[in-house]
Structure 1
Amino acid sequence: MQNPSSFYKEQLKKHNTESKRIYKQMGLFSVLRLSVFVMAAFGIYLTFQNWQTAVIISVFGITIFLFLLSRYTDLKAQRFLHKRLAIINEEELKIASGDFHNRPNGSQFQNPKHYYSLDIDLFGRGSFFQFINRTTIKEGTETLVKQLLANDTSNIAARQEAVKELAALPEWRQHYSGVAQGVDIEHSAKSVIKWLKDYQPFLSTTLYWLTIVFSIVSVTIVALGILEIIPIKYAGYWLLFGLAITGKYLKKINNVAQNTEKAKDTFRQYALLLKQIEQKEFLSQLLKEQQQKIQSEDLKASQIFSKFSKALDALDNRNNFISAIFGNGYLLWDIRQTYHVEQWINTYADKVETWFEVVTFFDAYNSLGNYAFNHQQFTYPIITNENATISAKDLGHPLLKPEKRINSDLELNEEQFFIITGANMAGKSTFLRTVALHIVMANVGLPICAKQSKYKPIKLITSMRTTDSLTDDSSYFFSELTRLKFVVDTVEKDKNYFVILDEILKGTNSTDKAIGSRKFVEKLVKLNATGIIATHDLSLTKIEAELEAVKNYFFDAEIKNDELFFDYKLKQGVCQNMNASFLLKTMDIV
C-alpha cells in the first residue's frame, strides 16, 4: 500500500487543482447563460411583430438556457465534492501530526456500567474513538460505537479481512465519505424507518385510475374550450371540480407531504451511497455479504431509492402555487403522486431498514479501514487456540507517538493472573490501557500496535476508574464495591473474560485494602480468571509464592543525582523503588 502521508498530499493537490479547474468552467457557463438570455431577449424584441418566430426563439432560448443551467449545477456539485475531498485529506494530515483533539470525541457514549468503556479512554477528549472516527452519518457513528463496545469474539478473522480490503481502497473510502457529506440531513434514518413501518395507506387503485381518466377529460375540455367548440367557462368549472376532489383528501395528503419532506434528503443521500457500494466489487466474505443484502431481482437498491426520491420531488411540486392550482384542478396531481409514494412504501418498506444498515455498516467500517491504512506498521493478531491468551512482541499504546512510545513484550496464558507493581508515573496505568486496547482492537478486527501478536479471543472487563454518584446517592467506596461485584458476577457466569484492575479498594485504609485486595485476587484465581491487577501494595505480590497462576511484574523508577528516571519497560519481579516521598519533596509540597 502507498505511504499514507504521500497519498494524502497527492490527493490534496489533485482535488484542489480539480476544484480550481471546475470553478473556471463554471464561470464560462455563467457567461454563456447570460449571453443566451440577452440574445434570446433581443431576438424576441426584434421579432415581436411575428409571434411565431418569437415563440421559436423563446423555445430555443429556454432550452439552451436550461441545458447550460443543468450543466452549471452539475459542475457546482462536482466542485463541492472535490472541495470536500480536499478537506478530508487536510484532516488526515492534521490528525497524523497529532492534531485531532477538536474532533467529535464521543463523550456521550461513555457508560460507567459498560464492561470497559469508561476505564480505557475509549471515548472523550484524546480518546481512541476521537482518533479513529471518520464516520459521516449519525447512524454510521452509532454502528462504529457498537462495534467498539460489542465485546464480540466471534468471526474476528472475517472482520480482519474486511478491514484489510477497505484499507487498500483509500480513494473509494474517501469518495464514499465525500458523497455522504454532500447532503445535509435533518432527520435520522431511524425516524424515517419508523414512519415507513407505521404508515397506513388511504388511496385505492380505483382512485388512481380515476386520476388518469380525469386528466384525459381535463385535456379534452381545455382543448375544446380553446377551439371554442364549447364555452371556455366549462374548463373553469372542471378546474373547481378537480380542486374539490383533491380537497377531500387534502388533510391526509398534507400529512404525507410533511413526512416525505423530512425523508427526502435521507433517501437522496442513501441512494448515492448505495450506488457507491453496488459499483464496487468486493472480495472479502463480510463485505460481499453486506453487498448481497442490497441486491434485488429487478432494480438495484440505489435505483429503487432514486425512484422514491423522484416521487417525493414530484409530490413536493405542490408547493408551487401554479402547480397546486392547475395541477390539482386538471390532473389531480397530489392524489396521483401520493399514490405513487404509497405504492413504493407497500413494496419496499420492509427492506429499507436492511438497506440503511448496509450503508451505515460501510460508513463505520470505512473508519476501521482508514485506521489500518494509516498504521501499516501495525500487525493483525494471529487468531489461535493455543494456551497463551496474549503473546505480543513490542506491544505499545496506539495513541502515543512512535518517538515517545516505549513498547514491552507480553506473554500471558489462559487462567494466569499478573500482579503489576511500580512507582507513581512509571507506566502501570498506560500499560493496562495498552493491553485493554489490544483486546478491543483485536476483537473488532483492527491491527494492533505491536511487532507481532498471537491472540486467543477473549472478552474484556475492567475496574480502573470509579466515581461516586450524587444522583444514585452512593459513595465512592460503595461504587467501587458495586463494580467489583459486577466483575465477579460476570466471571462466575463466563470465565472467558480478561479482567483488568487498577489499584482497587482505594476508598479504605491501607491495612483493610491489603486484606481485601488479596482476597479479591484469590477469588478471581479460584474462578480461573485471566487478567492483570496494578497495585502499589507490595504485600499483594506474596500471593505468587502461594498460587501458581499468579505472576509478579513491575515498572521501575530510578533516582540518580536527585532526578527521577523511568524506562517504562515491563519486567518480571517486584518493584523495589517507590517515589511518592521523593516527588513530594521535589515539588516543594513537603
Structure 2
Amino acid sequence: MSALESPAVSYRKQFESFERLSTQLRQRSRRLSWVRLAIAAIAIALAWPALFSGLIGARWLWLPAVGFVLVALVHEGVERRCRRARRTTEYYRQGLDRLAGDWIGQGPDGARFEDADHPYAADLDLFGRGSLFEHLCAARTAGGESRLADWLQNAAEPVIVRDRQHAVAELRDRPDLRLDLALLGDRIGSTVDTGRLVKWAETPAVLTTSWPCWIATALGIVNVATFTAWLAPVLHQAVEAAQGGEVLELFKGAGPFFVALVVSGLFAAWHGAETRRILHDGDRPQHDLGLLAGVLERLQQERFKSAELQRLAEALRIAGVAPSRAIAQLTRIVQIEQSRHNAIFAALGGMVFAATHLAYAMERWRAQYGRAVVVWVDAVACFEALSSLARHAHENPEDVFPVFEDGPALLDAKGLAHPLLSIETAVRNDVSIARNAQRLWIVSGSNMAGKSTLLRTTGVNVVLALAGAPVRASAMRLSALQIGASMRIVDSLRDGTSHLYAEIKRLRCIVDLCKGSRPVLFLLDELLHGTNSSDRRAGAAAILRTLLDGGAIGMVTTHDLALAKIVDELGDAGANVHFVDHMRDGELAFDYTLRSGPVQKGNALELMRAIGLEV
C-alpha cells in the first residue's frame, strides 16, 4: 500500500486482483482435468494393440503414462495456487468487511474470556459478539487469543506498553507477513489449541529407562529372522506345489517363529500399557502441529528492528535448533504413529515393536524440546497479539499512539471517538481529566444523547492504549491507569441480587481498586439510579468523594440534575458537561457534541407528547 493509498482502496485492488487470478486458475484447472482425462483415454486405446494384438510395441504406453504424470504434477501446482488465491481473496474480503463495519460474526468473539467479576470487561464490551476482541483478533493459535485477551483485561506498565507500540508500528508496515500467517492452515480463521501441546510438553517423562527399548529391538530382530526363516521354504514349496510337486507343509519350521511371538506377546503385555498411554497422550495435542510449524517457520524468516520483536525472535532459538524443524520432527512421529492403524502396517509394526520405538521417540523429543515448547508457544502468542494490534493500526492509519506520562492520574484526549464506530459518522469529542485539575466530570443529558457512549469511548480507547495499540483520537496523553466501570449492572433472580445491590457491590470493588498502586479511572453510568432521590444524592456524593480522595479520576453520567450540583461542593476539582437534543419533525435529534455545564432541559415530556400522550 502506498503512503497516499487508503487501506480500503488497497484491499479493494488486492481483492479484485486475486479474484481474477482465482477465476483464471479455476479455468486452467478444468482444462488440465480434461487433458488428463484425454491422456487416460489414449492410454486405454493403446493398451489393446500394444499388449494383445502386437500392432504396436508396448513401449509406446510409456508416452501417455509419462504425459499423464507430468500433467498431473502441473495440475497439482495449479490447484495449490488456486487454493491460495481463493483464500487470499477471502482474506481481503474480510478486511473490506471490517472497514465497512460488516465484521460482526466473522471471527472469534472471545466469549470464553468473559468474566462477570472483571472491573470493566463486560461494561466496555471487550468480549462476545460484536466486541472489541472480535474486531481485533487475528490470532491463529488459542495461545494468541488468550494473550490478546489478557492484554485487554490487564493493563501493562508504561515501559512495556512503549515496547509494544514500537513492535506494533513495525508490524503495521509488514502486510505481507500478516497475509502469509493468515493463509496458513486449512482455512481462513482456523486456530490451533496450543494449550494441550504445552501441557503435554511439560508432563514428566514416563519411560525413564532405555533397556525396554533394547529388548524391543532384539525381539524385533528375532521376530523378523524367524519369520523369514519360516516363510522362505514355505514360498519355495508353494511354487513347487503349484507345478505339481510335493505337498505344501505350511507350518514346517514355524516353531521358532511362534516361540518368538509368545515371548514378544509376554513383553507387550508387560510393557504395552505404558507405550499405549504415551502414544495416546502424545497424539491428542498434535493434530494442528502443521499450522504451528508453519507459523514458526514464517517467523524465523523475518528480521526485526524493534526490541520486543527481537526478543521474541531470540526466544525461538532457545533450543539451539529451528523450532519449525523440531515441530516437524514431532509431526513425522505422530504421522507414523497414526499409520499404525493401517492393517498391513499394524501387522508388520507389531512384529518389530514399532509402537515401543515411537513411544521412546516421543519421550526423547519431549526430553529435548519440552521446555522449549513453552517458550515457543509463548513467543508465538505474543507475536500474534502484536500482529492483531498491528492489523488494526494498518487499517486505521489516522489513529495515533498515545503518549504515557509519569506522575499523577491524567487523561487528556483530543478528537476522541469509539474505535468500533465508522470514522465517517462518529462524532469526536475532547476529554480532559487530571489529578491536578478537573478530576471529575458529571455528564448529564437525555436518553440516547451519547452519555453512555462517551464512557465506553473513553474506556475502550484507554484499554487500547494500555495494551499497546493506537487509539481513535487526534492526540492522547495519559498516565498508567486502572479502569473501574459500572455501566452494565445486571440483577439476578436466582442469586437474589437486586440491581441496586449489584451496583453497590461493583462500586465497592472500584473503591477497593483505589488501594492499589495505579490511580483509578472510574466510569459510572447513571450512578445509584435504583434508589430514591434523597439517598441517591447523598450516596453519590459520598462515593465520589471517596474515589477522589483515593486519587481517582473519572466520569459519571446522570439524568438527575440534582447530582449535577455535586460539582458545587468540589470547587475546581469537578465540572459539569452535557449533551443536548431537540425535536425535529416530531422526532428526537442528537448531535452527540459535548458541551460545558449541566443540561438545561429533558426530553421526556416532549417525547410523550410526540407519541400522543397528553401531559
Which TM class, normalised by the smaller chain length?
A: 0.7 to 0.9
What does the per-residue CA deviation read over 1:136-176, in whole Å, with 9 as the maximum and x for residues that have no partner? 33332222211111122431111111111221112211220
Q: Match of 2:194?
A: 189
Q: Match of 2:122?
A: 118
Q: Tell me if 1:582 matches 2:606.
A: yes
User: After the TM superposition, which residues 268-347 of structure 1 pair with which residues of structure 2 at under 5 Å, given as runs?
Assistant: 268-296=290-318, 298-329=320-351, 331-347=352-368
Taking the aligned partners of 1:454 and 1:518, their CA distance within structure 2 comes to: 28
TM superposition shift of 1:31:
6.5
SS in structure 2 of the partner of residue 430 of structure 1: helix
Distance change (3 Å), C-alpha of 1:149 and 1:184: closer
Taking the aligned partners of 1:37 and 1:203, their CA distance within structure 2 comes to: 59
Q: Match of 1:540?
A: 563
2:281 to 259, 265, 284: 259
Taking the aligned partners of 2:179 and 2:449, their CA distance within structure 1 comes to: 40
Question: Which deviates the most, 319-328 or 434-443?
Answer: 319-328
Q: Tell me if 1:399 matches 2:420.
A: yes
Distance change (3 Å), C-alpha of 1:68 and 1:295: farther
Structure 2 counterpart of 1:586, one-letter code: A
Question: Which deviates the most, 250-259 or 234-243?
Answer: 234-243
TM superposition shift of 1:442:
0.6
- Which segments of 5 or more consecutive residues in structure 1 lack a partner in the other structure? none
Structure 1 counterpart of 2:336, one-letter code: A
User: After the TM superposition, which residues 79-478 of structure 1 pair with which residues of structure 2 at under 5 Å, given as runs?
Assistant: 79-103=82-106, 104-154=108-158, 155-182=160-187, 188-198=193-203, 200-202=205-207, 204-210=209-215, 240=258, 244=262, 245=264, 247-248=268-269, 249-296=271-318, 298-329=320-351, 331-385=352-406, 389-414=410-435, 416-478=439-501
Distance change (3 Å), C-alpha of 1:223 and 1:455: same
SS in structure 1 of the partner of residue 304 of structure 2: coil
Taking the aligned partners of 2:358 and 2:63, their CA distance within structure 1 comes to: 30
Q: Match of 1:556?
A: 580
What does the per-residue CA deviation read over 1:85-134, in whole Å, with 9 as the maximum and x for residues that have no partner? 21111111122222123334334433221110111222334332232233
TM superposition shift of 1:430:
0.9
Structure 2 counterpart of 1:136, one-letter code: R
Question: Which deviates the most, 65-74 or 507-516?
Answer: 65-74
Q: Match of 2:240?
A: none
What does the per-residue CA deviation read over 1:420-455, in whole Å, with 9 as the maximum and x for residues that have no partner? 222322211111111111210111111111112222
Distance change (3 Å), C-alpha of 1:387 and 1:96: same
What does the per-residue CA deviation read over 1:456-497, in whole Å, with 9 as the maximum and x for residues that have no partner? 221211111211112322111111111111111111344511
User: Are 1:459 and 1:498, in contact at CA under 8 Å, matched by a contact in 2?
Assistant: yes
Taking the aligned partners of 2:554 and 2:155, their CA distance within structure 1 comes to: 16
What does the per-residue CA deviation read over 1:496-520, in whole Å, with 9 as the maximum and x for residues that have no partner? 1111111111111122211211222
Taking the aligned partners of 1:269 and 1:236, their CA distance within structure 2 comes to: 48
Structure 1 counterpart of 2:453, one-letter code: T
TM superposition shift of 1:215:
5.8
Taking the aligned partners of 2:45 and 2:207, their CA distance within structure 1 comes to: 48
Question: Which deviates the most, 313-322 or 202-211?
Answer: 202-211
Question: How many residues are paired up?
Answer: 586
User: After the TM superposition, which residues 61-80 of structure 1 pair with which residues of structure 2 at under 5 Å, given as runs?
Assistant: 76-80=79-83
Taking the aligned partners of 2:162 and 2:252, their CA distance within structure 1 comes to: 74
What does the per-residue CA deviation read over 1:55-88, in whole Å, with 9 as the maximum and x for residues that have no partner? x999999999888777765654443333222111
TM superposition shift of 1:303:
0.2
TM superposition shift of 1:383:
2.0
Taking the aligned partners of 1:257 and 1:65, their CA distance within structure 2 comes to: 40
SS in structure 2 of the partner of residue 176 of structure 1: helix
Distance change (3 Å), C-alpha of 1:241 and 1:354: farther
Structure 2 counterpart of 1:377, one-letter code: E
Task: Give the TM-score, by structure 2 length.
Answer: 0.84
Distance change (3 Å), C-alpha of 1:89 and 1:297: same
Question: Which deviates the most, 216-225 or 364-373?
Answer: 216-225
Taking the aligned partners of 1:115 and 1:413, their CA distance within structure 2 comes to: 21
TM superposition shift of 1:527:
2.1
Question: Which deviates the most, 30-39 or 96-105?
Answer: 30-39
TM superposition shift of 1:530:
0.9
Distance change (3 Å), C-alpha of 1:57 and 1:476: farther
Question: Which deviates the most, 491-500 or 251-260?
Answer: 251-260
Task: Give the TM-score, by structure 1 length.
Answer: 0.87
TM superposition shift of 1:587:
2.5
What does the per-residue CA deviation read over 1:3-41, in whole Å, with 9 as the maximum and x for residues that have no partner? 211222232234334444554565577567764798599
Taking the aligned partners of 1:580 and 1:464, their CA distance within structure 2 comes to: 22
What does the per-residue CA deviation read over 1:231-288, in whole Å, with 9 as the maximum and x for residues that have no partner? 8968966665665526434444333333343233222221111111111112221122
Distance change (3 Å), C-alpha of 1:344 and 1:47: farther
User: Are 1:495 and 1:529, in contact at CA under 8 Å, matched by a contact in 2?
Assistant: no
What does the per-residue CA deviation read over 1:544-583, in whole Å, with 9 as the maximum and x for residues that have no partner? 3332311222222345786644332222222212212211
SS in structure 1 of the partner of residue 373 of structure 2: helix
What does the per-residue CA deviation read over 1:354-413, in whole Å, with 9 as the maximum and x for residues that have no partner? 212222333333221111111001111122236671222211122222332111122221
SS in structure 2 of the partner of residue 546 of structure 1: helix
TM superposition shift of 1:344:
0.8
Structure 1 counterpart of 2:605, one-letter code: S
SS in structure 2 of the partner of residue 172 of structure 1: helix
Taking the aligned partners of 1:483 and 1:226, their CA distance within structure 2 comes to: 80
Structure 2 counterpart of 1:336, one-letter code: H
Structure 2 counterpart of 1:117, one-letter code: A
Question: Which deviates the most, 542-551 or 153-162?
Answer: 542-551
Question: Which deviates the most, 580-589 or 503-512?
Answer: 580-589
Question: Percent of aligned pairs with the same residue?
Answer: 25
Taking the aligned partners of 1:205 and 1:46, their CA distance within structure 2 comes to: 58
User: Are 1:85 and 1:175, in contact at CA under 8 Å, matched by a contact in 2?
Assistant: no
Taking the aligned partners of 1:434 and 1:475, their CA distance within structure 2 comes to: 28
Structure 2 counterpart of 1:141, one-letter code: E
Q: Tell me if 1:531 matches 2:554.
A: yes
User: Are 1:477 and 1:507, in contact at CA under 8 Å, matched by a contact in 2?
Assistant: yes
Taking the aligned partners of 1:241 and 1:312, their CA distance within structure 2 comes to: 31
User: Are 1:495 and 1:527, in contact at CA under 8 Å, matched by a contact in 2?
Assistant: no
Distance change (3 Å), C-alpha of 1:78 and 1:304: farther
User: Are 1:36 and 1:64, in contact at CA under 8 Å, matched by a contact in 2?
Assistant: no
Taking the aligned partners of 2:142 and 2:477, their CA distance within structure 1 comes to: 35
User: Are 2:482 and 2:518, in contact at CA under 8 Å, matched by a contact in 1?
Assistant: no
- Which segments of 5 or more consecutive residues in structure 2 lack a partner in the other structure? 238-250
Question: Which deviates the most, 473-482 or 386-395?
Answer: 386-395
SS in structure 2 of the partner of residue 193 of structure 1: helix
Taking the aligned partners of 1:170 and 1:283, their CA distance within structure 2 comes to: 16
